[in-house]
Amino acid sequence: MTAPALPGWTHTYSGKVRDLYVPDTTQAAGAAVAEAHGDVVLVVASDRVSAYDHVLNPGIPGKGVVLTQLSLWWFSQLEDLVPNHVVSAVAPDVPEAVLGRAMVCRRLEMFAVECVARGYLTGSGLAEYRAGGSVTGISLPDGLVDGSRLPEPIFTPATKAELGEHDENVSIDVVADVLGRERAEQLRDLTLAVYARAEGVARERGVILADTKLEFGLDPVTGAVTLGDEVLTPDSSRFWPADSWEPGRAQESFDKQYVRDWLTSSASGWDRDGDDEPPLLPEDVVERTRDRYLEAYERLTGTALSL
């Protein structure tokens, strides 16, 4: 998981998928960026893929380009709802391998919460519902099944986990204890507004947005709550083809669910609850996952992405 060296930038952090850099002001390129934009970071989306709190090998070729370009497209669709952290989609003097997968972004003071909106019941929300009829303290009607559309979208935040640890779904009351009630409700309202806009856009293109995870922070200059990280990508969202949606079963998807399904199948031979690292992804799983990411981009934006 070694981040590439980039002229004009100093690597500071690597997550499951993204590498972060700050301007190296001892070099001309870094000094120029800092002078032009102030306190910024370079966010580079790698081709790494994670599932069940593990970074898997090999990665998915071109995945980082899809994530970056789709995020940029969605940021432009949402800019009248909430400001975002993107300063420039072009980073000066970076190697060709980074082109298309990097964004120069304002450094935000991030809120320590994953802001999740669910319009459909699946994943960890489904497991919680089956255990007690609710999700993060929000009671839901009886009789819902995997893939059911909820009566209305719900805000189900989660704590942020370190690499190798689990996110934990929590109630809005827990968020309010940390951030204050007014801020917690502001994040809820923004999350649901973004989901409503994106769900409508996706539906027009024959795609169901089942759920999505957002991250917000404060812009230290303006003080505004600002949308950061990635947004509405196959890594942070569940996208399903609308024409094959059928509640009561696992849905076809345009995301890394294909990887998750293979890992938990007998074909992988991996025990999710054991101590062993996941096996290498087979070539056909890598290829089919790549195809799904590209199809998500093309269906949503209406344009093909050349990798």
Domain holding 37: CATH number? 3.30.200.20
- Percent of the chain surpassing pLDDT 90: 79
Query: Quick one: pLDDT at residue 38?
Result: 87
What does the alpha-carbon distance between residue 213 and residue 105 come to, in Å, rounded to a whole number?
Answer: 19
pTM of the predicted model as reported, rounded to 2 decimal places: 0.92
What does the alpha-carbon distance between residue 96 and residue 6 come to, in Å, rounded to a whole number?
Answer: 11
Q: Is 240 a member of any domain? A: yes
Which domain, by its residues, includes 147? 110-270
What does the alpha-carbon distance between residue 98 and residue 6 come to, in Å, rounded to a whole number?
Answer: 9
What does the alpha-carbon distance between residue 189 and residue 195 come to, in Å, rounded to a whole number?
Answer: 10
What does the alpha-carbon distance between residue 49 and residue 61 come to, in Å, rounded to a whole number?
Answer: 10
Is the pLDDT score of 37 beyond 70? yes
Q: Domain check: are 80 and 163 in the same one?
A: no
Last-in-domain residue among 107, 140, 166: 107
What would the pLDDT profile of 172-225 be if each residue is shown by its tens digit? 999 999 999 999 999 999 999 999 999 999 999 999 999 999 999 999 999 999
Summarize the confidence of residues 230-245 as an average pLDDT.
96
Q: Domain check: are 216 and 131 in the same one?
A: yes
Q: Is 302 a member of any domain? A: no
Q: Domain check: are 136 and 227 in the same one?
A: yes
Q: Is 64 a member of any domain? A: yes
Summarize the confidence of residues 140-160 as an average pLDDT.
96
Last-in-domain residue among 107, 127, 150: 107
Q: How many domains does the chain have?
A: 2
Query: Quick one: pLDDT at residue 163?
Result: 42
Identify the bridge partners of residue 103 per DSSP, sorted by sequence position.
43
Q: Is 63 a member of any domain? A: yes
Token pair, residue 91, equals 């980073």
Given phi > 0 = left and psi -120 to 50 = alpha, else beta, which region is 136?
A: left
- Percent of the chain surpassing pLDDT 70: 98
What would the pLDDT profile of 117-134 be if each residue is shown by its tens digit? 999 999 999 999 999 999
Query: Quick one: pLDDT at residue 52?
Result: 87
User: pLDDT-derived band of residue 1, with 50, 70 and 90 as boundaries?
Assistant: low
Q: Is 129 a member of any domain? A: yes
Q: Domain check: are 155 and 197 in the same one?
A: yes
Q: Is 59 a member of any domain? A: yes
What would the pLDDT profile of 3-29 be if each residue is shown by its tens digit? 888 988 999 999 889 999 999 998 887
Contact assessment for residue 137 and residue 111, using Cβ atoms and an 8 Å cutoff: no
Last-in-domain residue among 91, 107, 123: 107
Q: Is 231 a member of any domain? A: yes
What would the pLDDT profile of 86-119 be if each residue is shown by its tens digit? 999 887 778 887 989 999 999 999 999 999 999 9
Q: Is 179 a member of any domain? A: yes
Q: Domain check: are 97 and 148 in the same one?
A: no
Summarize the confidence of residues 257-276 as an average pLDDT.
92
CATH number of residue 241's parent domain: 3.30.470.20
Q: Domain check: are 233 and 95 in the same one?
A: no
What does the alpha-carbon distance between residue 279 and residue 264 come to, in Å, rounded to a whole number?
Answer: 11
Q: Domain check: are 88 and 117 in the same one?
A: no
Query: Quick one: pLDDT at residue 13?
Result: 93
Q: Domain check: are 251 and 135 in the same one?
A: yes
Q: Domain check: are 65 and 120 in the same one?
A: no
Q: Domain check: are 114 and 262 in the same one?
A: yes
Quote the crossing angle between the two packed helices 172-179 and 181-204, to the nearest 10°: 130
Query: Quick one: pLDDT at residue 80?
Result: 97
Q: Domain check: are 88 and 161 in the same one?
A: no
Summarize the confidence of residues 127-145 as an average pLDDT.
97
Query: Quick one: pLDDT at residue 161?
Result: 59
Average pLDDT, the chain: 93
Q: Domain check: are 114 and 254 in the same one?
A: yes
Is the pLDDT score of 164 beyond 50? no
